[in-house]
Amino acid sequence: MATETESARRQADHGNGPQRDRGGARKGTPQGTRKRPPGGADKDAGSGSITARLRGGHLIGTYGLLGLTLLLFVIFALALPDTFPTMDNASSILSNQSIPAILALGAMIPIVTGKFDLSVGYGLGLAHVLAMQLIVNSGWSWPIACVAVIIGGGIVGVLNGLLVEFAKIDSFIATLGTGSLLYACTGWITDGARIVPGPHGLPPAFTDLYDSTFLGLPVPAFYVLALAVVLWLLLERLPLGRYLYVIGSNARAADLVGIPTRRYGIYAFAGSGLVVGFAGVLLAAQQQIGNPSVGMDYLLPAFVGALLGSTAIKPGRANAAGTVVAVAILAIGLAGIQQLGAEFWATSLFNGGTLLLAVGLAGYSARRRLRAGASATRRSLSPPGTEPATVSAAVAAPEQPTPAPAASTDDAPHTP
């Protein structure tokens, strides 16, 4: 017996015998059980369904607003076949909505960083009045006047950025206060009256900035396209845009990784001010008079376009392409309801309702992405053959130590 026991021990030491744990119990899979293969049909099917839902939701969120724009155009074209689907109507829409589109692109830049510039409407009014004042009453040449107005818009944007980033004033309050100051400056320049050119009018080269055409389309439409392309390159293809998006996502994290958040925040407001100054020059070329109260009419459409644009192309974040699509659907909708004979108050109703819809869609898109991400995380953490709910409960519950099994008397070595 002793010889057999020593032989068994030597075989176990060399790996030929049954393996035992510290308590003397045999290791291995109990009889009658079988290891479950990694993965499984249920998990694969569940993962596939989640992937399909995520892909479908992504396509709807990305191109849904663009599809709605085309659908709205088809509806108005069928309802107004003689007036709406015409080249004259298309040129009129592109011309009339170019300034709101440019202003929406300008308002979008601070939104990328999670801030809002409510002074864009007041800045537009001051910019176009200042351009008329310099050309008509001060005798400046129109190119120098336009450059001065655009630079002045950039200076106003830097002031907004300093108030928000260094004085730590909320962007709503800071830009609203700045806008009130700009409106006061507009009243001081005009003395509450309109600036009307003399009998010779404005220089034709200045008015051609808005009235001329290119390839049969209004030139302002190409301004919008060029500005959208420039902003797309800055935000999507250059480090500047990546930094701005990181700041808008989590300013504290951006600061911790070394991104100068204050400096880039000022850059965002300065870019918005430059765009507003350019829009003011175009408004002066369009109106050809200085109206001190015209700027506020563009504030709501600008924010509707910027916020609604964050639900398209790049859902969940402000982007130039989505803003252009949002302005297009607003332009088509307004043109359609006006040609159908809507009352004068329908424009405000349409803009306000669309703004509420834009904010609601943006919030829903954010919540949907969070739920989809949480579901995908639970699915990835679930072991084979385990439901996500069971995994969540297992993760939430503390792990209990498993008692070691008692040694079997049959496995104990026999002594002689």
- Identify the CA nearest to 336 among candidates 103, 81, 98, 102: 81
> What are the pLDDT digits (tens) for 334-391?
888 888 887 778 877 887 777 777 667 666 666 666 676 677 677 777 665 554 444 3
- Taking alpha carbons only, the member of 398, 402, 400 closest to residue 23 is 402
Q: What is the pLDDT of residue 30?
A: 47
Angle in degrees, CA 335, 336, 341, rounded to 5:
100
Q: What is the pLDDT of residues 133-178, one digit of tens each?
A: 999 988 899 999 999 999 999 999 999 999 999 999 999 999 999 9
- List pLDDT tens digits, range 13-47: 544 444 444 444 444 444 444 444 454 455 454 55
Lowest mean pLDDT among 49-53, 128-132, 235-239, 352-356: 49-53
Choice between 117 and 370, residue whose per-residue pLDDT is larger? 117
pTM for the predicted model, two decimal places: 0.74
Q: Name which of 31, 28, 22 is nearest 406 in CA terms.
A: 22
Checking DSSP bridges between strand 217-218 and strand 213-214, what pairing results, if any? antiparallel
Question: Could you give the C-alpha distances from 10 to 14, 53, 63, 111, 410, in angstroms and in order?
Answer: 6, 59, 72, 75, 19
On whether the CB atoms of residues 115 and 171 are closer than 8 A, the answer is yes
Token pair of 297, please?
């009419």
